[in-house]
Amino acid sequence: MFPSTSPDTGRDPWADGAPDGPAGPAGGPAPGPRPAPDDDTGSRRERGPRRFRKGGAPRRSEDDDVEPDEEPIEPVEVHRPLSLTVAGFAALLGVGLVLGAQTAGPGHRLPFAVIVFGVQLLFVLAWTMAMRPPALLLVALTSGVVAAAADVAAVQTDVAGLAPLGFVALGGFLLGVLGQLVRRVDRVRVTDSLGTTLLIVVGVVAFATLITLSRIPAGTQAITVCLVATGVALTVARLTDAVLAWPRLAPQVPRGAAGVVVGAMAGTLTSALLGSYLVGFTPTSAALIGLVTAATAVLADLAVGYAEAGRLMAGEPPTMWIARHMQGPLGGFALAAPAAYAMCVLFL
């Protein structure tokens, strides 16, 4: 015979020590199953929203990560002899181009073209060694051929203009890219070299705009004003860095804002003084084109310093000493040349 009552009869439903109370509906709904404790002993229970203290800030929990303070970056040392050397190179480069422009005349532009070609070769050497494209020798040879072709086009064309130079630059860029695509070793890094090849090819073609500028009316005077302003701006900027490289624009770049500003102002003042003596210029017009070219050259020189600092921070080995310090002034003159052409065409 089975017992007439259940085995659980008389057993307390609150056997776990819960408070006594009626088990029926009067005591409220029956308690549901309790959630199982977290098996991971190292985890914390979920908490509700933090209560703010009277001070206003929430109480910091013990497991909040404390962010370590960033270590200050020590600025790169500015080498005064090096700044003086770069300033001297910028001055010599400006004097050579200005004196070469004075030799140009109707039907007699070959000496100036030879001087420009020499500067273009320096540009190719410095920029290829500094930026190190995958096919360095191929890019250097292509850029040299483009420089010669651009000079010939600037001298031999019937009408002085930038269209022949643009075609030469486009052809040289395509030739450099195709030459790297043919080589299996350089094909993988061809995308990395597109910017480098374009910069070098456009740079050498930009110098050829000086030859084209010498063929238009008032072009030689414009070259004198612009290149003197550029040379003075670059030289004064580097000299100021040798004396007072402050305030530092970036800890990794050994340049100061004072040099950039003082250099651009000195170049503008020099061009205004030249404009009062040259035929076809006024101090105002000369100061305007001098300001544009001087500021362009100084900013290009500064950008080269930032690019070199970025390569060093990326872990790339430093480039040839003389190449990376020639790169800034050469880049400044390369960018100032088309700026001088544009200002002469627009305002003279």
CA 94 – CA 265 distance, rounded (Å):
17
Mean model confidence pLDDT for the chain: 81
Greater confidence (245 vs 238) lies with 238
**Per-residue model confidence (pLDDT) at position 109:** 84
Q: Identify which of 311, 308, 268 has the alpha carbon closest to the alpha carbon of residue 286.
A: 268
The band of 27, judged by pLDDT with boundaries at 50, 70 and 90, is: very low
**Per-residue model confidence (pLDDT) at position 187:** 55
Instruction: Collect all residues with Cβ–Cβ distance below 8 Å to 156 and sequence separation of at least 6.
Output: none
Q: Which of 187-191, 279-283, 293-297 has the highest mean pLDDT?
A: 293-297
The band of 227, judged by pLDDT with boundaries at 50, 70 and 90, is: very high
The band of 70, judged by pLDDT with boundaries at 50, 70 and 90, is: low
**Per-residue model confidence (pLDDT) at position 128:** 92
Please report the DSSP string for 48-107 in residue order: -PPPBPTTSSBPPPTTPPPPPPPPPPPPPPP-HHHHHHHHHHHHHHHHHHHHHHHT-BTT
pLDDT in tens, 143-171: 999 999 999 999 998 888 899 999 999 99
The band of 320, judged by pLDDT with boundaries at 50, 70 and 90, is: confident
**Per-residue model confidence (pLDDT) at position 294:** 96
**Per-residue model confidence (pLDDT) at position 177:** 80
Q: Examine the pLDDT at 40 and tell me if it is beyond 90.
A: no
Q: Which of 146-155, 190-199, 339-348 has the highest mean pLDDT?
A: 146-155
The band of 67, judged by pLDDT with boundaries at 50, 70 and 90, is: low
| Helix-then-strand count for the chain, H and E | 10, 2
Q: Cα–Cα distances in Å, from 326 out to 128, 136, 198, 228, 260?
A: 12, 18, 19, 18, 18
The band of 60, judged by pLDDT with boundaries at 50, 70 and 90, is: low
Which range among 44-53, 81-90, 220-229, 248-257 shows the weakest confidence by mean pLDDT?
44-53
Q: Which of 25-34, 49-58, 208-217, 306-315 has the highest mean pLDDT?
A: 208-217
Which range among 12-21, 78-87, 137-146, 221-230 shows the weakest confidence by mean pLDDT?
12-21
**Per-residue model confidence (pLDDT) at position 158:** 85
pTM (global) more than 0.85: no
Q: Examine the pLDDT at 339 and tell me if it is beyond 80.
A: yes
The band of 58, judged by pLDDT with boundaries at 50, 70 and 90, is: low
Which range among 183-187, 203-207, 319-323 shows the weakest confidence by mean pLDDT?
183-187
Angle between helix axes 163-182 and 190-213 (nearest 10 degrees) is 160
**Per-residue model confidence (pLDDT) at position 191:** 67
Q: Using CA of residue 340, residue 344, residue 347, residue 348, what is the dihedral sign?
A: positive
Phi, psi of 58 (to 5 degrees): -70, 150
| Mean per-residue pLDDT, 108-125 | 93
